[in-house]
Amino acid sequence: MTNAELAFVFPGQGSQKIGMLSEIAQEAPEIQATFADASDVLGYDLWDLCQNGEQDAINLTQRTQPLLLTSSVALYRLWRSRGGSQPVYMAGHSLGEWSALVCSGALAFKDAVHLVRERGRLMQEAVPAGEGAMAAIIGLDDKEVEVACAASAQGEVVAAVNYNSPGQIVIAGSRTAVERAIEACKAAGAKKAMPLPVSAPFHTELMRPAAEKLTPQIEVTNFNAPEIPIVHNVHAELEADPEAIKSLMIEQIYRPVRWTACVQKVIGSGVSQMVECGPGKVLGGLVKRIDRSVACHAIDSSGNFNEALRTTAV
């Protein structure tokens, strides 16, 4: 059954942690089965890595991206196998948009695992370690952050890259330019302006070489029209044409994530409930900052999974 008021949102990098999904996997064989499918593609045991490995190991971008994709797809498979309502919209934050593509039927899971591993590797290689940076800016509006970045560039790259919620924006670019922008944001009245523990400046022009190298692999992969509409990061709109979706997924690598606009688009279509399909509750928190009237559900443990099943049933 489809719930006309329900959307699914899929998290991106930053939601990973050692031991994730361990409790729910004990009673849901679908979880480890999905991880086994991914491990076949990757050539290593992804489940063992995220349960028994080191945090530094799963924080490597080329491992983080397949890990979060697999976690989200595993939870969605479990959701549907347990009779969970089908959503009317999907959206994913950065890497999470790949999870949405798989869960909407637009892309085969194993193809997505391969592509996001390459995406992570190429994004990390695009800028040498230590030369890029990202920072979170709290308490300024979008325009104030954009002005601070423009004034701080001085011939280098620094820009707003994640419009996460009103008053919460992530900037990225060359390390020295980001440092200047942090000080400019503080001077403009930011409540917080703090570097993030990420070495690569995601979603900036510095990522364009990664996008160009990934393009041939995306172009030869079969994409389908999504069975469930996806609101895309690049322009916060829907797209049904598979070739246009490929272009958006290439562009997404070096364009900002317009998450606030994506959520507003979904809410404006009549959605009042959202399920965060992946580990953690990061997106639920952002959604609440965008619109407190929306009910947000996490499903990464047995308790909250079953509660979400009950609450969203039609």
Active site amino acids: 94, 203
Helix (H) or strand (E) holding 209: helix 208-219
133-152 in b/e burial notation, b at 16+ Cβ within 10 A? bbbbbebbeeebbeebbeeb
Question: How crowded is the C-beta side of 178, counted as CA atoms within 13 Å?
Answer: 26
Measured CA to CA in angstroms, residue 269 lies from 15, 58, 89, 142, 152 at distances of 27, 36, 9, 24, 38
Specify the amino acid at residue 48.
D
Measured CA to CA, the distance from residue 240 to residue 221 in angstroms comes to 16
What is the rounded CA–CA span in Å between residue 167 and residue 226? 32
Token pair 């393009």 is found at 215
Rounded Cα gap, residues 129 and 264, in angstroms = 35
- Residue 308 CA to residue 312 CA, distance in Å, equals 6
| Secondary structure class of 242 (helix, strand, coil) | helix
Distance of CA 195 to the CA centre of its chain: 19
Quote the tokens at residue 102.
């798989």
Beta bridge partners of 86: 2
- CA 241: distance to chain centroid? 21
